[in-house]
Structure 1
Amino acid sequence: MGVLRTFLATLGFLTRLAPARVMTDQEMGRCMAHLPLAGAVLGAVAVLPFSLGLLSHSPWVQAWLVVGASIYLTRGLHFDGLADVCDAVTTHADPDRFWTVIKDSRAGAFGVMGLFMALGGQVILFHEMFRAGAFGTIVWAFILGRAAAVCLGASVRGLTRPGLGKLFIDGATPKTALIAAILTMGAGVFLAGPVVAVGGAAIAGLALMPLHKLAGHVKGANGDFLGCAVILGELAAGLGFALLG
């Protein structure tokens, strides 16, 4: 499978920006290397209309619409993972109960609270970036989110549970994570500036530590952990800008 085909398959699986197609287990593992680039394309598509002047006098509306576009274009995949982890983490003292709850499709109180905090946080942080005209930083937030998932995947490869998430996480080799981190930092320096890039990446690293610890405690990790990492990475970029931009 060529590099371009793998990238398009990744884009089709994670977003609506390319046709979805059936992939083998090995092909799904190779998708991990393309997550940051997929984030760049997603971010560019979501931000482009506003960078051209759409609703330029209404940064709150711009921020709200970008979050809505992200939900639509990703089918809410990553937010679903965040909600599942938030619901299940309240039972993490019992690993068996944790995995029962995380597989339950119903949303509980803690999942709703997690979504409220994440969605509200994204709207607020994107507003700050739109208000400052920092369109490149918004695009970088989507890149950092996907790189965070790759790095988390590399750190929990020995803990994966059967399922789609395992197929992705198996492809998160240390080399893949290192390349993703380097490319993401390079993109961050270019799009957001070196100070915001370093700050956002540092916040993302701190945010991933509890997820890594949780995976060890419950003796497993799945695709919901990756989705949660994506959202935490996006928020980390916004916090980096709010603190240092």
Structure 2
Amino acid sequence: MTLQPIRSEWDLLRLSLLFYTRIPVGQVAYSEERMGASFRYFPLVGAIVGGVMAGAFALADYWLPQPVAATICVIVGLVVTGGMHEDGLADYCDAFGGVHDRESTLRIMKDSSTGVYGILGLIVLLISRIILLSYIPSRVAIGTIVAMAVVARWMPILVMRLSTYARKSNEASKATHLRQAVTTKTLLLASVWALLALFLLPWQAAVAAPLPMIAQTLLVMRVSNKRIGGYTGDVLGAVECFGELTLALVTLIVVYQA
């Protein structure tokens, strides 16, 4: 029995870690096709990131008040990922926060500077994360942190499956690998990781959270399709951030109702 298929899948996981975290994984052979296939492990990358964040939260929560532990957890997440999704959210807020045509919207998302809408979006995102994790009981928060990182990373894959990359082949792009189609195999494998992560939540939250997460993802996708004719990397980053907040909010509602 050859180990080549296992090594190939392992390299796809490392490739996803290389692009979407700051975790050192060594050199990995790159191609746009392999990068597209690596999305099947994007939620699993979330499990690794979420595990580090949850560990930081648990350690800090043992010695410090929970709001401080939540703050440390959020900071650790930013360090591990390099704030990639948050950068996408900021660009998305700048581009979609005003009334712009397609060309202006794409140009704003490509601009490296951050405007008022982007800054406000980041402030709301980070404060919301800290507040939500401060009020979810510690015993539930640890699993919620991991589930947030995993399930929210399935949402961009859904968008990529249902929509198309907005920038045309002759338009400059920093993320041309996003043009790669999400195959059925990639979608199914990514779904497995997301479904497993739901078991880390109270069962009521595991049942209730996916529907509003998918609904808001489809709404963002529809707005993006109408405005720019598809998605960009910044749109996907925003979708991931929105998904995290929704899952945490639903979990908080569940534990408070209980």
One-letter code aligned to 2:11: R
Within the alignment, does 1:28 sit opposite 2:35 as a pair? yes
For residues 41-77 of structure 1, the C-alpha deviation after alignment (integer angstroms, 9 at most, x for no partner) is: 1100111143356544411011111111111111111
Superposition pairs of residues 155-234 of structure 1, within 5 angstroms: 155-157=162-164, 159=166, 161-162=168-169, 163-168=173-178, 170-188=180-198, 190-217=199-226, 218-234=228-244
Alignment CA distance shift 1:216-1:50 (3 Å):
closer
CA contact (8 A) 2:165 2:178 kept: no
Task: Please state whether the residue corresponding to 1:192 is helix, strand or coil.
Answer: coil
One-letter code aligned to 2:193: L
For residues 68-107 of structure 1, the C-alpha deviation after alignment (integer angstroms, 9 at most, x for no partner) is: 1111111111000000010000345411111111111111
- Unaligned 5+ runs, structure 1: none
Shift of 1:159: 4.2
CA contact (8 A) 1:161 1:220 kept: no
TM-score of the superposed pair, with normalisation by structure 2: 0.86
Q: Which residue of 2 aligns with 1:144?
A: 151
Within the alignment, does 1:71 sit opposite 2:75 as a pair? no
For residues 13-43 of structure 1, the C-alpha deviation after alignment (integer angstroms, 9 at most, x for no partner) is: 1111233646111111111100110000110
Taking the aligned partners of 1:93 and 1:49, their CA distance within structure 2 comes to 41
Taking the aligned partners of 2:61 and 2:131, their CA distance within structure 1 comes to 19
Q: Which residue of 2 aligns with 1:18?
A: 24
Alignment CA distance shift 1:131-1:183 (3 Å):
closer
For residues 206-230 of structure 1, the C-alpha deviation after alignment (integer angstroms, 9 at most, x for no partner) is: 2212321122112132111111111
Superposition pairs of residues 13-162 of structure 1, within 5 angstroms: 13-19=19-25, 21=27, 23-52=30-59, 54-157=61-164, 159=166, 161-162=168-169
Structure 1 residue ranges (4+ consecutive) displaced by more than 6 angstroms after TM superposition: none
TM-score of the superposed pair, with normalisation by structure 1: 0.90
Identity %: 26
One-letter code aligned to 2:13: F
Q: Which residue of 1 aligns with 2:3?
A: none
- Unaligned 5+ runs, structure 2: 1-6
